[in-house]
C-alpha cells in the first residue's frame, strides 16, 4: 500500500508497511529476491510469509516471494494439454501451480498480493518457451508501473 503526500517541491510516495508487488520469471537476473518460498497451497504460503515477516523492523523493505509453476495458453484446454506429460515434482518441494489463460494468471497474481499471501511472484514455466513468451508479452507488462 502506498500513500501519496504532496510536498512543495513535488509529489513523493511513502510506503506504509508493504513493498510494491514484484512479478518476474524464474532466472531473470535483473530481479533479486532473497526469500522465495515454495508451498503447495496459498494458505501455506500465507502462513510462511507471516512467520518470515513477523520479527522484521522494516516490513516495507522485506519481500517474501512465492514461486508459482505456470502453463498458460489462449485457451485453458490448450494449457492443460501442454502439461499433460509434465510430471509433478517428486522431491516433495511442490509449489502452487496455475494452468489456464494469461488473464487468469494476472488475476491470481493480483489476488496473491491483495490477500497478503506474498509480496512478489516468481513464475516458473512448466511447458517451456511458449508459456515463457506469453508471460513476457502479456503477464509481466500488466504489472509494470
Whole-angstrom Cα distance, residue 124 to residue 131? Answer: 9
Domain contains 9: no
The highest-confidence range among 10-19, 29-38, 116-125, by mean pLDDT, is: 116-125
Domain contains 4: no
Average pLDDT (61-68) is 90
pLDDT for the residue numbered 28: 84
Domain contains 10: no
Domain contains 136: yes
Average pLDDT (38-53) is 93
Residue span of the structural domain in which 38 resides:
18-143
Burial of 75 (0-12, 13-18, 19+ CB in 10 A): exposed
Band (144; pLDDT cuts 50, 70, 90): confident
pTM to 2 decimal places: 0.80
Per residue in 102-124, pLDDT (tens digit) is 999 999 999 999 999 999 999 99
Whole-angstrom Cα distance, residue 111 to residue 124? Answer: 18
Domain contains 93: yes
Burial of 45 (0-12, 13-18, 19+ CB in 10 A): buried
Does residue 8 have a pLDDT over 70? no
Does residue 41 have a pLDDT over 80? yes
Domain contains 95: yes
Domain contains 72: yes
Report how many domains make up the chain.
1
Domain contains 29: yes
pLDDT for the residue numbered 4: 34
Amino acid at each position: 500500500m502506498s500513500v501519496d503526500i504532496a510536498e512543495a517541491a513535488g509529489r513523493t510516495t511513502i510506503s506504509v508497511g508493504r513493498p510494491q508487488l514484484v512479478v518476474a520469471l524464474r532466472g531473470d537476473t535483473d530481479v533479486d529476491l532473497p526469500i522465495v518460498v515454495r508451498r503447495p497451497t496459498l494458505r501455506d504460503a500465507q502462513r510462511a510469509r507471516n512467520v518470515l515477516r513477523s520479527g522484521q523492523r522494516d516490513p516495507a523493505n522485506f519481500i517474501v516471494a512465492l514461486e508459482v509453476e505456470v502453463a498458460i495458453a489462449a485457451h485453458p484446454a490448450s494449457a492443460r494439454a501442454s502439461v499433460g506429460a509434465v510430471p509433478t515434482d517428486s522431491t516433495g518441494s511442490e509449489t502452487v501451480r496455475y494452468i489456464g489463460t494469461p488473464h487468469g494468471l494476472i488475476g491470481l497474481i493480483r489476488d496473491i498480493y491483495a490477500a497478503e499471501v506474498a509480496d512478489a511472484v516468481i513464475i516458473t514455466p512448466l511447458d517451456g518457451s511458449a508459456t515463457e513468451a506469453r508471460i513476457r508479452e502479456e503477464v509481466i507488462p500488466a504489472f509494470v508501473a
